[in-house]
Amino acid sequence: MMSSHRALSKEAAERLTLAAEPWLSCDDCFEQIDGYIERVLAGDAARDPAMRAHLIGCAACGDEARSLLLLVAEDQGIDPGPALSRLTAE
């Protein structure tokens, strides 16, 4: 049997090696995501390392955060571009 190997992208490797501390579960993320998105849209400089790490490491929650950000930005008439870049920025 032949096995196929696929090269790991730089982004995928970074997600795999991202520190898991402080740890946040998907349930915790879901409970906090509304407030986090509001802070990101407001340009709040305060960082939430647990939320950031979770959104980078969890594709499902990261997609949910981006979708919510786009929805709220549209509803408020805000350009989502700057907030999208801040969503998981260090």
The pLDDT value recorded for residue 18 is 60
Question: Could you tell me the pLDDT band of residue 19, with boundaries at 50, 70 and 90?
Answer: low
Distances (CA, A) of 56 to 1, 44, 51, 75: 35, 19, 9, 25
Q: What is the pLDDT of residues 20-70, one digit of tens each?
A: 566 789 999 999 999 999 999 988 756 788 888 888 889 999 999 999 999
How large is the angle between the packed helices 26-42 and 59-76, nearest 10 degrees? 30
Average pLDDT (70-78) is: 95
Domain residue extents for the chain: 19-86
Please tell me the pTM assigned to this model: 0.72
